[in-house]
């Protein structure tokens, strides 16, 4: 991934998740480790995350 975006829900304590164009995710405290995802993998993961935040 070449461009990463920090979650707007990230606190100022440095605990955050970043999403990369491409698609991928990583922990900002361990940026050398990233989880690459295809668009087909990303869509259900995002639905799961968004659905669980409504509970």
43 or 21, greater pLDDT: 43
Q: Is the pLDDT of residue 54 over 60?
A: no
> Between the CA of residue 13 and those of 5, 9, 19, 26, 31, what are the distances in Å?
17, 12, 18, 16, 16
C-beta separation of 37 from 26 below 8 A: no
The predicted model scores a pTM of 0.51
Percent of the chain with pLDDT over 70: 73
């Amino acid at each position: 991934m070449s461009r990463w975006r920090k979650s707007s829900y990230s606190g100022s304590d440095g605990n955050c998740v970043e999403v990369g164009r491409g698609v991928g995710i990583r922990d900002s405290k361990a940026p050398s480790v990233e989880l690459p995802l295809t668009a087909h993998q990303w869509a259900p993961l995002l639905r799961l995350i968004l659905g669980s935040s409504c509970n």
